[in-house]
Amino acid sequence: MNKIYRYIIAAVLVLFLGYKSIYFKKLSEVKQLDKSGFDYDAYADTLYNKGILSEDMGVGLDELMFMIQTKPDSAFSIYGNRLGIGNSAYFMVKGNGRISAVQDGSLKILTEKGESVTLDSKYIFGNDLRDASRLVKLTDFKTNAEFNKVSEALNTLVREKVIAPTVQRLREGDKISFMGALKLNRKHLSDIEFMIIPAQITLQ
């Protein structure tokens, strides 16, 4: 009889410990918790409107190109931003020009100094805008995944709410001013492709 009691007590104990050692949560609740932890959209909105659009943001494209040709190391250290190790750096540039062509969502621009540049308004992805702004530090976020979510939120804002509606209104021959991210590789400075990820395009 004693044995039966012992087994019952042991079974109750095992069930109690088992019950206390695990718990279940709805996946939707966990996902919601992750989303609510940090508001990347609000962060990107502030970063864009109060940081990237501030008056002192960006170097003139002509000034940068002159410096790249004459003092490339200074150009990279003063205006460029490279997180970690690599040959490339991102620059926030601004300029004026006339639209010479609209091709597959991209704008071909002829600048006032006769330079031909492309505003890649279709492929606004990656870390170009975030890093060119020099406003977000790697150490501001705990993991690279979180750090990259800033880029995704910023790109979505710029691509869908800023650039897409603007580009729809633009036509060949329009005079515009622009600001955006330019990626330059130290190893290939002789054949620079002026492909700029736009942050803002304004019809003049």
Partner 1 sequence: MMCMKKIASLLCLIVSFCFSCQNKTGTEKPKVAVVISTLNNPWFVVLAESAVKDAEALGYEAKIFDSQNNPATESDNFENLISSGFDAILFNPTDADGSVVNILKAKEAGIPVFCMDREVNADDAATSQILSDNYAGCVSIGISFVRALKEKGNYVEIIGLVGDNNTWARSGGFHSVVDKFPGLKMVAQQSGDFDRNKAMEVLETLMQAHPDIDAVFCGNDAMAMGAYQALQAAGKADKVKVFGFDGASDVIEKIREKKIVATGMQYPKVMAKTAAQYAHEYFGGRRIFPQRVPVEVELVNAANVKDYE
d(CA 133, CA 63): 17
| Shorter beta-carbon distance to partner 1: residue 34 or 55 | 34
In the complex, the smallest distance separating the C-beta of residue 143 from partner 1, rounded to whole angstroms, is 7
| Shorter beta-carbon distance to partner 1: residue 71 or 188 | 188
Binding piece for partner 1, criterion CB under 8 A, among 15-23, 31-39, 72-80, 118-126: 118-126
What residues are paired with 81 via a beta bridge?
90
DSSP single-letter state for residue 134: T
d(CA 181, CA 57): 11
In the complex, the smallest distance separating the C-beta of residue 51 from partner 1, rounded to whole angstroms, is 20
Residues between 126 and 145 with contacts to partner 1, criterion CB under 8 A: 126-127, 138-139, 142-145
In the complex, the smallest distance separating the C-beta of residue 86 from partner 1, rounded to whole angstroms, is 3
- Residue 101 in the binding site for partner 1 (CB under 8 A): no
Q: Is 121 exposed, middle or buried (0-12, 13-18, 19+ CB in 10 A)?
A: buried
In the complex, the smallest distance separating the C-beta of residue 121 from partner 1, rounded to whole angstroms, is 13
Determine the straight-line distance between the first and last CA of the chain, rounded to whole angstroms.
95
Reference 157, options 34, 35, 47, 58; nearest CA is 47
Q: Is 27 exposed, middle or buried (0-12, 13-18, 19+ CB in 10 A)?
A: exposed
Residues between 146 and 165 with contacts to partner 1, criterion CB under 8 A: 148, 152, 155
Instruction: Using CB under 8 A, list all residues that contact partner 1.
Output: 82-88, 123, 125-127, 138-139, 142-145, 148, 152, 155, 187
